[in-house]
Amino acid sequence: MSPGEPLLEVTNLTVDSGSARLVRGIGFTVARGERVGVIGESGSGKSLTALACLGLLDDGLRPGGSVRLAGVEFDLLGASDRQLSAIRGKRVGMVFQEPMTALNPVQRVGSQITEGMRLHGTRPTRRVADEAAVELLDRLRLPAPRQAARSFPHQLSGGQRQRGVLGIALSNDPDLLICDEPTTALDVTVQKEITDLIVGDCEERGTAVLFISHDLALVSSVCHRVLVMYGGRIVESGPADRVLSAPKHPYTRALLAACDLTPGSRARAIPGVVPAPKDLPAGCGFSNRCAYADEQCAAPPEPTGEKPDDTVACWHHDALPAWPSAAESPDRDRTEPAHCGKAVDSELLLSTQGLTRRYQGRRTGLFGKRPTFRALEPIDLDLRAGQRVGVVGESGAGKSTLLRLLAGLDRPSDGGVRYFGRADGPSGGAGSRLQVVFQDPMGSLDPRLRVREIIAEPLPARRSAAARERVSELLTAVGLPEEAGERYPHQLSGGQRQRIAIARALAPEPAVLLADEPVSALDVSVRAEVLDLLRTATTEREMALCVISHDLGVIRYLCDTVLVLRDGRLVESGTVESVWEAPRHPYTKQLLGAVPRMRY
């Protein structure tokens, strides 16, 4: 093998599902020791590309084209399972998104790591393999690696499990590591640890990485080079700094603009939705959402560029205005009035005194006491009209517990919530003057009801003509066509579903709107429009907004006050700007430091 030869060479890769072409002929290379990022929204074909390279596509999906790995004489695409088995786990390791399902729940972590070593014969005896697994876990900075190797997956935390998955992938010192959204299911601080680990370890050993993510900032902090995918094609590729600082393709530009949640700016959503593969325009896949599209775009543009690894597939990339252009970048002039000062004297809508939630665990012995677990330590909180409060923290911090208590969906162990100045009993609740937007727009809409019925749910007389009118009004307000009312939730995209959830919450004209991770299940391009919708809907009506998120950017974009929770305890609170600029608590500093930022 010559030194100049790429480690992985993908040529004209396609994936067909029978009814549609999901990956439409893409080609790229990965050099030895190079870290290549693949950026794209859901449905762009980025995960399929990775799976196709390893022959791991589901039944019913047919790959085409060629995938060559240096030092392997056959094409990975046509290879038999037996041939691929010799490569998977040995030359190429894979890290999956969800660390819980990637590990076998009934097998110890150590033996899952040694399995690959022993199968591939790199460390054939059990004793040697066991030692190697412990060393590997130590290298991956797992505290008490020997004990971790003996643990079952459920005994480890999410980050520890993902280190275990990484351990399996790295067990045979592969030449290439494929990571498919390796940190999406993890908290920010853990995400930083894991990506630092991937970068550090691969740098040290010269392992190449194919890093798939929807998070531009994360990719920019990990990779040397990026590929931007849209509609099953690579629309732009090049060095990470060039692509992210001087994007050439309209889609890359739009994506960057949609990601920018700098306060005072207005994030720009990409118009339209990511079309289903069979509805993609025949030529340039992005042409139906692109501001620069014309008749030439009906023909598919070829990737062009001075160098083969710095390309853009757009007919008009030369004619685009310089980046950042006023028309595409977030418009920063549009500052909104600050709410922090004036909210103090407005109506008190919601207040808590010593609000606490404890859960009782299982009795450990016959006469043992039931252990109690404090999900939320006593918390005092006031929410006034027009105030926008963000609650930030990692999983297990008590954010969702707090929201459920505020919404009256759960009963506090101690303390209580006063709604609108009244001292209601625990069962009183706030009535429909308080509404919630939930995290998962699929789970929060009843799949058996039509959109119209869903939105009308909180209305008093939901079959009346007035209710019908109100639903139509709400559909328009959230930017959906009237016909959408007759559809079922599954017929709509994620962003549209979340807009329906918002329309339902706004239906009874609530005074308080609670939002639980309102955009974490959404793609970047629609995230902005949902955030804007929440922002305009609440400011127009002087609504109090309480947003829960693990994403500091979202809080900063939407809120003026922030509460930082950790292990059920309030560790810091203040105006967003003051906490952002000068965090006082070490945990807040750690949290802010872990947020991936655009490097370029």
Partner 1 sequence: MRSRATLVTGCLIVALVLAVAAVSMVWTPYDPNHVDAARQLAGAGGEHLLGTDQLGRDVASRLMVGARITVFAGVVAVGIALLAGVPMGVVAGMTGGWLSTVIMRVSDFLLAFPALLLAIMLAAVYGSGTLTAMVAIGIASAPGFARVSRAATLRVMTAEYIDAARLAKRGRVAIALRHVLPNIADIVIVQASVSFSTAILAEAALSYLGLGTTPPTPSWGRMLQESQDLLFSTPQLSLWPGLAVAATVLGLNLLGDGLRDRVDPALEGVR
Task: Give the interface with partner 1 as residue ranges (CB under 8 A).
Answer: 407-409, 431-432, 434-436, 438-440, 443-449, 454, 457-458, 488, 490-491, 501, 504, 508
Enter the tokens of residue 576.
């967003």
Enter the tokens of residue 411.
């009963």
Whether the bond into 324 is cis, omega within 30 of 0? yes
Minimal CA–CA distance to 5: which of 75, 71, 64, 80?
71
**Least distance in angstroms from the C-beta of 447 to partner 1:** 5
Residue whose CB is less far from partner 1, 112 or 439: 439
**Least distance in angstroms from the C-beta of 438 to partner 1:** 4
Residue whose CB is less far from partner 1, 212 or 543: 543
Which string of DSSP letters, residue by residue, matches 214-235?
A: S-HHHHHHH-SEEEEEETTEEE
172 and 89 Cβ atoms separated by less than 8 Å: yes
- Which helix H or strand E contains 419, and what residues bound it? strand 414-419
**Rounded-to-integer distance, Cα 19 and Cα 15, Å:** 11
Strand ranges of the sheet holding 62-69, from the earlier edge strand across to the other edge: 21-30, 8-16, 62-69
**Rounded-to-integer distance, Cα 412 and Cα 536, Å:** 32
Residue whose CB is less far from partner 1, 456 or 531: 456
Enter the tokens of residue 461.
């007389």
272 and 204 Cβ atoms separated by less than 8 Å: no
Residue whose CB is less far from partner 1, 329 or 432: 432
Residue whose CB is less far from partner 1, 146 or 433: 433
Distances (CA, A) of 305 to 226, 317, 325, 464, 465: 15, 10, 22, 61, 59
**Least distance in angstroms from the C-beta of 432 to partner 1:** 6
Residue whose CB is less far from partner 1, 75 or 410: 410
Residue whose CB is less far from partner 1, 421 or 443: 443
Within 8 A by CB and 6+ apart from 106, the residues are 152
Q: Which residue has the tokens 């208590």?
A: 405
Q: Would you give the end-to-end CA distance of the chain in angstroms?
A: 35
137 and 149 Cβ atoms separated by less than 8 Å: yes
Residue whose CB is less far from partner 1, 82 or 448: 448
Residue whose CB is less far from partner 1, 261 or 445: 445
**Least distance in angstroms from the C-beta of 433 to partner 1:** 10
**Least distance in angstroms from the C-beta of 185 to partner 1:** 19
**Least distance in angstroms from the C-beta of 397 to partner 1:** 20
**Least distance in angstroms from the C-beta of 511 to partner 1:** 13
**Least distance in angstroms from the C-beta of 319 to partner 1:** 39
Q: What angle do CA 222, 228, 230 make, to 5 degrees?
A: 140
**Least distance in angstroms from the C-beta of 448 to partner 1:** 4
